[in-house]
Structure 1
Amino acid sequence: MRVFFVLVGLSVTTFAYAHDAPSGWKYPNSCCSNLDCRHVSHTAISERPQGYIIEATGEVLPYADRRVRISPDGEYHWCSAAGEDHGKTICLFVPARAY
């Protein structure tokens, strides 16, 4: 019985951690179902006149798109459907612009 409670405790801990960014802030529930969001390299996202480009999919998110949000840690974080590398974007966290 004790093993059961330890396993349940570990699964709850893992569940909560999956909703956190590596730097410790929490991804909003509207962006993440505990597996959709992850930190991505600055090379995974590019900026063009038309908006942010998700390199893995070629998807374009205009700068004013409601899915684009300021990243609390100044890093890029991408939330895609089911956390897939080729999934549709749910949210994109970007560093604050200096201008």
Structure 2
Amino acid sequence: MRIFFALVGLSITTVAYGHDAPTGWTYPYSCCSNFDCRHVSYTAISERPQGYVINATGEVVPYADRRVRISPDGEYHWCSAAGDDHGRTICLFVPPRAY
């Protein structure tokens, strides 16, 4: 009987989740494969009329781009391909806009 329950337990699929931000919220798996996302300083991102600029790469992410997300902790978080400091942006979490 134990073998039956062990096999049933192994056959249940698990849901994959991304890793956690330093303040405890979880990066969405669509942005992160457990290593692509990280907290970045407010000096790592600039704002220009065209959108957010990733200072390390010069990449411009337009304000209306679907990769831009509101940051749950009010800090910048950048998800880049393979977690590379010079990779292309997968997601960019930004502080909410003030009114």
Residue in 2 aligned with 1:94? 94
More helix by share: 1
Residue in 1 aligned with 2:30? 30
Residue in 2 aligned with 1:21? 21
Spell out the pairing of 1:1-99 with structure 2 (5 A cutoff): 19-99=19-99
Residues in 1 aligned to 2:52 and 2:20: alpha-carbon distance in whole angstroms: 23
Identity %: 84
Residues in 1 aligned to 2:82 and 2:62: alpha-carbon distance in whole angstroms: 22
Residues in 2 aligned to 1:63 and 1:80: alpha-carbon distance in whole angstroms: 17
Residues in 2 aligned to 1:35 and 1:69: alpha-carbon distance in whole angstroms: 18
TM-score (norm 2): 0.81
CA positional deviation for 1:91? 0.1
Residues 52-78 of structure 1 deviation map (CA, whole Å, 9 limit, x = unaligned) = 000000000000000000000000000
Identify unmatched segments of 5+ residues in structure 1.
Answer: 1-15
CA positional deviation for 1:85? 0.1
In our comparison, the structure showing a higher alpha carbon Rg is: 2
TM-score (norm 1): 0.81
Identify unmatched segments of 5+ residues in structure 2.
Answer: 1-16
Count of residue correspondences = 83
Moved segments of 4+, more than 4 Å: none
Residues in 1 aligned to 2:56 and 2:98: alpha-carbon distance in whole angstroms: 26
